[in-house]
Amino acid sequence: MTFRFCFMMLVMVAASVQAADWGQWRGPNFDGSTNETDLPTEWSLTENIAWAAALPGPSASTPVVWGDQVFVSSTDQKADTLKSICLDRKSGKVLWQHDVAKGVNRDSRSTYAGPSPATDGKHVVFFYGNGDLVTYDLAGKRLWSKNVGPFAFQWTFSSSPLLYDGKLYIQILQRDVKVHGEGLDGKNDSFLLALDPATGKELWRKSRPSEARAESLEAFSTPVPYEHAGRKQVLVVGGDAISGHDPESGTELWRWGTWNPERIGHWRLVPSPIAGDGVVLACAPKKNPVYAVTADGEGDLGDAGRVWTSDSRNRNPVSSDVPTPAFYDGDFFVLSDVNKQLSRVEAKTGKIKWAITTPGRSKYEASPLAADGKLYVINFDGEVSVVDAKDGAIINTIAMEPDSKGFIRSSVIAAQGQLFVRTDTKLYCIGK
């Protein structure tokens, strides 16, 4: 074996370690983190930008990347349509795009293109807040489509699809009766649905009961898989409770609740569950605490299942009303939109290792990216801040959309050694 051959093999291995995909909303580890290294910390609208692709309309959905393809869910405001788009990762050129449905929103706060796509390298799934679910192969050929609505939600529904262990999971946690004329006549069921991603065939559908009332039945979270101590489960949060489900059957393995003992009726839930080091987090709504429960339990966990709760007596408690935390380097990173705070929290104890005030004046609703010893967060005005994960020091802040209207919610992602930042008008690929 020659020295040159050995050297080339080492280069290829190093490149493969760095060049990770980002196939789901919360990335390859389902927790907002990736093993990417050498990610950019300095750029501008003209420097260290591989390309910038114009988008036909705004959306809170996060792009996903597989190899040399970037998949984007979008609105087209001029045509009043929902679109599924595939871009070339190296150039930003549109490889294919399809119109999915007419109508882009039902209220002024968001659009139907809120859910992020998901891909497993064979199928790419696009899901929309009007219930439309469509799957393509990577060449853009439509494989199947269906509508899984209507839904009973106060605001525009959003929950991203999950591809895991050969199944496609869709979560609908909704009001039990119609609201503003939306939903089915009679009783509306909340459920977790599993489909065959190749055909759309229903594998199972499991009801997910709740004691919550009115709007507190509604959740905009996404189901998240977690494997711990040899047990695989799909985590679901909303309806005043968090639960773990068998991925093969949907059977509920355990449940913990509640952060809402008084059954307040307007506590809809937005952040998805996040797990690490045998601990599962549920972020209660508004300015309420973060609850950590064990991932090892069975049945109704009760008080014994709670590992810790963030201290609401602090002046700026660890809390999140919208962003989903990240798990990285053994700790949770909680971004608070309501307290303007980013915190590093020890997974097992809830101890705060550091906490900083988020930069700028604008609100943060996008979820944090954790990678390469850094955190990447973006606010409504499109200002991306790079934060040192070790001590919370601000490394840099870059304005990506000077003329932003103040509603940028798409999370920053990392894939194939680059960053991807979505604003209201463009998708930027950062890093050469």
Integer Rg of the chain from CA: 21
Q: Are 147 and 133 in contact (CB under 8 A)?
A: yes
**Which fold is adopted by the domain 3-430?**
Methylamine Dehydrogenase; Chain H (2.130.10)
Question: What pLDDT is stored for residue 125 in this prediction?
Answer: 98
d(CA 314, CA 329): 25
Look at strands 191-195 and 162-164 and give their pairing: unpaired
Q: The tokens of 314 are what?
A: 């602090």
CA dihedral 124, 206, 321, 181 (to 10 degrees): 90
pLDDT digits (tens, 9 = 90+) for 209-238: 999 999 999 999 999 999 999 999 999 999
Question: What pLDDT is stored for residue 24 in this prediction?
Answer: 97
pLDDT digits (tens, 9 = 90+) for 34-53: 999 999 999 999 999 999 99
Q: Are 219 and 173 in contact (CB under 8 A)?
A: yes
pLDDT digits (tens, 9 = 90+) for 263-308: 999 999 999 999 999 999 999 999 999 999 999 999 999 999 999 9
Question: What pLDDT is stored for residue 11 in this prediction?
Answer: 40
User: Domain residue spans in the chain?
Assistant: 3-430
d(CA 33, CA 53): 25
In sequence order, which residues have a C-beta less than 8 Å from that of residue 390 and are 6 or more positions away? 373
Question: What pLDDT is stored for residue 174 in this prediction?
Answer: 98
Question: What pLDDT is stored for residue 6 in this prediction?
Answer: 45
Query: Residue 15 in 3-state DSSP?
Result: helix
Q: Which DSSP state fits 189? A: P
d(CA 423, CA 382): 6
d(CA 295, CA 256): 10
Question: What pLDDT is stored for residue 2 in this prediction?
Answer: 53
Question: What pLDDT is stored for residue 3 in this prediction?
Answer: 47
Q: Are 38 and 55 in contact (CB under 8 A)?
A: no
Question: What pLDDT is stored for residue 159 in this prediction?
Answer: 98
**What pTM does this model have?**
0.94
d(CA 96, CA 4): 40
Within 10 angstroms of residue 18's Cβ, the number of other Cβ atoms is: 16
Within 10 angstroms of residue 200's Cβ, the number of other Cβ atoms is: 16
Extract the residue ranges of the chain whose pLDDT is less than 50.
1, 3, 5-17
What average pLDDT does the chain have?
94
How far is the first Cα of the chain from the last one, in angstroms, to the nearest whole number? Answer: 33
CA dihedral 159, 160, 163, 167 (to 10 degrees): 30
Q: Which amino acid, one-letter code, is at 26?
A: R
Q: The tokens of 209 are what?
A: 């009961």
Residue in the block written with tokens 């529904």: 157
Question: What pLDDT is stored for residue 402 in this prediction?
Answer: 81
Within 10 angstroms of residue 357's Cβ, the number of other Cβ atoms is: 13
Give buried/exposed letters for 46-60 (b at 16+ CB in 10 A, else e): eeebbbbbebbbbbb
pLDDT digits (tens, 9 = 90+) for 105-131: 988 778 999 999 999 999 999 999 999
d(CA 158, CA 55): 20
Question: What pLDDT is stored for residue 405 in this prediction?
Answer: 74
d(CA 429, CA 277): 32
Task: Kindly tell me the burial class for residue 178, based on how many C-beta atoms sit within 10 Å of its own C-beta (0-12, 13-18, 19 or more).
Answer: middle
